[in-house]
Amino acid sequence: MELGTVDRTPPPFFKRGPSPLSRLLVLGALAMLLMVADARLQWAQPLRVGLAGVLYPLQWLALQPVRGVHHVAHYMGSLDAAQQAAHAARAELTRQVQRAALVEHLSQENRQLRALLSLRAHLPAQAQGAEVLYESPDPYRHKVVINRGQSHGVVAGSPVMDGYGVLGQVTRAYPLLSEVTLLIDHDQAIPVVNARTGQRSLAYGMTSADNQRLELRFVSVNADMEPGDILTTSGVDGIYPPGLPVARVVSVQRRTDSGFARIECAPLSQPSNTLQVLVLKPHGSARPQISAETSAATTPPPARPRRSSPP
């Protein structure tokens, strides 16, 4: 028999095998049998434990990407929450700083207003309140600008005070604003009197840009002047009413090579942090005016020229 004529195919039974339905029924019955046996006899418990131990590394590796995603999401959420909390804290800190500055400003303004009100009741001249707007940008000139001008009755030469003493004098009056030159300016001078001894003198502003002091010039070296003496306005200039507090003597230097003493004074006012001031009318404007009839009655008639007799 030739090899090409031999049939090498398996029999039909082994080629087809059992049908899929038969396999399903057999395997289902086997599974039910195993489950019932395991439920009754617990024979598969050691097998499950062993498989769980073998499969745990694979489960751990499979869960790491999920855990990494959760960790990154939690970190990003925490970072965003921390940034928002920090931003809110900075905003709240800014509001608190602004509020603290406003409270400090209002407290200082309240103290100055109380001092002005208590001082205004004892002033001998009419006064009106004003607010300091800004200071002069020139560091060598001590001037401030207030929000009262000619339309409010302020004139050049009006004395200006804060709640502690004489601050300066109006040197320029505009319709709505006025320029006040402080006593510590080197171009200012004010007649003062020692409240203890009654000695009169002139107080001049110091020429230093950073020294807020006054200087008494042309005071005899033998004058009775001691540190701590209070100087008030004398009123002899016709501008400042008498009795206003001006300065306190801080140092007296009596030099043997000069006939005058060097006396420095600290102003009682607060030029650097004054917010509210009082503007007084000049002392000379309160003097009584002499009428024309009274002037004519009190003025002697002019003398008639003598006629020369003919030669």
pLDDT in tens, 61-89: 888 888 888 888 888 888 888 888 888 88
Higher pLDDT, 104 or 31: 31
Task: Provide the pLDDT for residue 12.
Answer: 56
- Looking at the chain, the whole-number percentage of residues with pLDDT higher than 90 is 20
Say whether 209 sits in a helix, a strand or coil: coil
- Model confidence at 16, in pLDDT bands (50, 70, 90)? low
pLDDT at 296: 38
**Residue 65 CB: number of other CB atoms within 10 A?**
9
Amino acid 299: pLDDT? 40
- Give residue-wise pLDDT tens across range 107-150: 666 666 666 666 555 565 678 888 899 888 877 788 999 999 99
**From CA 272, how far away is CA 289, in angstroms rounded?**
39
pLDDT, one tens digit per residue, over 214-225 is 999 888 888 888
C-alpha 276/C-alpha 253 separation (Å) is 35
Amino acid in the structure at residue 1: M
Per-domain residue ranges of the chain = 20-122, 127-285
Q: Which fold has domain 127-285?
A: Thrombin, subunit H (2.40.10)
DSSP letters spanning 178-198:
EEEEETTSTT-EEEEEETTT-
Among positive and negative, which fits the CA dihedral 289, 291, 294, 300? positive
pLDDT surpasses 50 at 300: no
The pLDDT of residue 186 is 86
pLDDT at 286 over 50: no
**Where residue 274 falls among pLDDT bands split at 50, 70, 90?**
confident
pLDDT at position 22 over 50:
yes
Q: If you compute the radius of gyration of the chain from its CA atoms, what whole number of angstroms results?
A: 52
pLDDT in tens, 186-204: 889 999 999 989 899 999 9
Mean pLDDT of 281-308: 45
